[in-house]
Structure 1
Amino acid sequence: MDKQEYIDSGILELYVFGQLEEPEFSEVVRMSESDADIKAEIVSIEKAIINFSESVSPFLSSENYEKIRAALMLKHGVVDMAPKKSNIFLYLGYAASILLLIGVGYQYQKLQEKDTQIVNVEKERSDLQKSVVDLTLQNKESETALSVVRDNNNAVIALAGQEVSPTSFAKVYWNKNTKAVHIDAAGLPEPPEGMVYQVWALKLNPLTPTSIGLLDDFKGNSKRIFSVENANDAEAFGITLEPAGGSVSPTLEQLYTLGKA
């Protein structure tokens, strides 16, 4: 094997990394002492490793970095030829592991960002679906309110405010053909927590009240148009404020509106 083939064989790199066993190690030492080209090639390899170790030094502890440099450099940058092995592969492995962890961490962060984006898109879609449902319900309420108001077969009975709430008012839309009764409660204040408005169909002589329904979900009904039960042969209508679930008989002290049919 000529000198150039010897240099290209990789044996000098193994020598620098401390991976040669006897007698190869002693042979390289001998040839480097007698051949300037081989010695120059060894120095070139060592300098290349020093430069590389400096480039990865931010990822190594100062102690490990100094060990790498001490294994490769003397006072003037010349590597000690003594037959001892270097731990360069171990240190470079540490650096590679750290770089791998940094890469994995970066990819994990990107994955987390994508997951967050997916969650946000799902929330936006859910909010949009809720808005569509709300608009659909509002449209149905509007259609119901318009059909009640525009039905010429409906008798309209005005209910005036009473002593407990003089400014209150309501309307009864009573279709005596279909027996359908609707209450327009837009003029009633929102009931307190735990209370509900109850509608009464009244016979006047003697005074006989009959409950025909509760105005439930007052907050959720934006149009405040409620369907109640058949009024039969009612002569008047009244609305009282009662405990949640309604009462068997009206609480007259909480009579909000009253009107004759």
Structure 2
Amino acid sequence: MNTEEYIASGILELYVYGALTDAENREITRNLKQYPEIRTEVEEIEKVLIDLSGTMAPEDLEHLLQAIKTKLARRSAAIPVHAKRSPWLAYTGWAASVVLLIGLFLLFNQNSDLKNTLNDTKNKNIQLEIEIADTRNEVERTKTLLDVMRDPHMLKIPLEGQQAAPEAYAAIYWDKENHVAYVDAKGLPEPPEGMVYQIWSLKMDPLTPTSIGLLDKFASDDNKMFELRNANASEGFGITLEPEGGSKTPTMERLYTLGVVSS
């Protein structure tokens, strides 16, 4: 057997890709045992196919085809001129190129589809985990707020609308022992851009306001319930509308709500 001509024919590529008949496969299997150079060539083709199937991108397919053409042309040149080749040998190499090219393209598409599916599933799972965590946090927060409003030791101070916003209303739930004030601001209108609600603890005689915080997350909080620190001996509470960042003293012209702690 002329092993160079046999290798150059392209039949080994078809064998590796599984495109031959059973009879042809049996013949090549026998040749693999008999001719070490044929066995080495098959191992090389298998290695190249495995490497390419894992790394090939669609834009590289044209380069792959050119590489196969070059390889076949080089092998054809190595065959002596006087060697007589049957017609099927002249075309089998190109058939092997096409079959391998199609196979690699399909493998790449399958790999890409699988990777895309896995990425989509991973992203959906991450999004679902975020939504579940957000829901859990919201449930816990709602439970906490309900416990606050139902606590008999919690002082509730209703805040009524003032001249700047007669329709506004709010409420303070004050835990004097733990120095925490919960502000229910559901009855306040959305503040204009560049403005923020500021909460004031009040001493009445003489009138002394002390800021206990800003509702700077008003727009993003659906419950409109805010927790603030208040260690003051408060006799009342007020809410004013101030420029972003707050003010050192309340702007009385923008006093929205006011309420007094019951004695």
TM (norm. structure 2) is 0.62
Aligned to 1:167, the other structure's residue is in SS state coil
Match status 1:200 vs 2:239 = no
Measured on the aligned residues, the alpha-carbon RMSD in Å equals: 2.6
Query: What residue identity is the alignment partner of 1:161?
Result: G
Aligned to 1:188, the other structure's residue is in SS state coil
Q: Gapped runs of 5+ residues in structure 1?
A: 1-8, 18-82
| Displacement of 1:84 | 9.1
Aligned-partner Cα distance in 1 for 2:117–2:83: 55
| Displacement of 1:192 | 3.3
Change (3 A) 1:203 1:93: same
Residue 53 (structure 2) aligns with: none
Structure possessing the higher relative contact order (Cα contacts under 8 Å, 6 or more residues apart): 2
Residue 177 (structure 1) aligns with: 177
Residue 146 (structure 1) aligns with: 146
TM (norm. structure 1) is 0.63
Q: Which has the larger radius of gyration?
A: 1
Residue 237 (structure 1) aligns with: 237
Match status 1:164 vs 2:164 = yes
Change (3 A) 1:90 1:257: farther
Query: What residue identity is the alignment partner of 1:210?
Result: T
Q: How does 1:84-163 map to 2 (within 5 A)?
A: 85=84, 88=87, 89-163=89-163
Change (3 A) 1:140 1:243: farther
Paired residues, what number? 183
Aligned-partner Cα distance in 2 for 1:253–1:139: 38
Change (3 A) 1:84 1:226: closer
Q: Gapped runs of 5+ residues in structure 2?
A: 10-81
Is the CA contact (8 Å cut-off) linking 1:145 and 1:223 kept in structure 2? no
Q: Give percent identity, aligned residues only.
A: 43
The one-character-per-residue Cα deviations of 1:72-102 (angstroms, maximum 9, x if unpaired) are xxxxxxxxxxx99558434321121011101
Query: What residue identity is the alignment partner of 2:216?
Result: D
Aligned-partner Cα distance in 1 for 2:116–2:110: 10
Query: What residue identity is the alignment partner of 1:178?
Result: N
Change (3 A) 1:85 1:248: same
